[in-house]
Amino acid sequence: STGQSDARGALIVLEGLDRSGKTSQSARLLSHLNSLGYPVESWRFPDRDTAVGKMISSYLTNQSQLDDHTIHLLFSANRWEKRSLMEAKLKSGTSLIVDRYSYSGVAFSSAKGLDIEWCKAPEVGLLAPDLVMYLNIPPEKAAERGGYGGERYEQLEFQKNVGKYYEMLSDPSWKIIDACLPLEDVEKQMTEIVLDCVVSCQKGKPLTHLWL
């Protein structure tokens, strides 16, 4: 078995519709793992701080128009530009809690009508998550949470369609979390699952690549 110095961090991904609570739960998981002494960071995609991320942000806020294929590849490029840092963090023992990842990329673009296999292709070779937690909420219920803002995609019919593609992408390893419950109860469903994952990665579970 590997010694403590070889212990790697876990790649933990949160997925779900808009307003399902990913941002809130990322923050909670971050402080929970921190309080237990685990090195951990919280990341999110899109990462709007990079050059590519700025193009994505301008598209999402309707300040620019882009062809559906083009924006899809930009979302993917935004993950690729963080890939080597992601690998370095994990190998140095830091766990990452990531708010949206390749599954968002494929679900949102497929919901617009792009071919699902075409959508998956640019994601091949990115690091595969050790754990995907899907925050499950009916789109109608998510829409009630403070209402939608003005960003592109924040529309009920579109969110329903995205949900269907998430369903197609999900596999039995995904942990489906009931995201309709109060914040504390949603968190409770996740903490044990996350800790199990962190421990199994420390024990040497190998890092793998998309698409699985």
60 binds ligand Z5A (CB under 6 A): yes
The beta strand positions in 60-171, using DSSP E, are: 95-99, 131-136
Question: First CA to last CA across the chain, in angstroms?
Answer: 26
What is the nearest approach in angstroms of ligand Z5A to the Cβ of residue 198? 22
Report the distance separating Cα 37 and Cα 202, nearest Å: 14
Site string for ligand Z5A, 96-135 (x = CB under 6 A): ---xx---xx--x---------------------------
Q: Which is nearer to ligand Z5A, 105 or 129 (CB)?
A: 105
Report the distance separating Cα 156 and Cα 142, nearest Å: 9
Site string for ligand Z5A, 177-206 (x = CB under 6 A): -----xx--x--------------------
137 near 179, Cβ under 8 Å? yes
19 binds ligand Z5A (CB under 6 A): yes
Q: Quick one: 134 exposed, middle or buried, by C-beta within 10 A (0-12, 13-18, 19+)? A: buried
161 binds ligand Z5A (CB under 6 A): no
Interacting residue ranges for ligand Z5A, rule: CB under 6 A: 16, 18-24, 44-46, 60, 75, 99-100, 104-105, 108, 145-146, 153-154, 182-183, 186
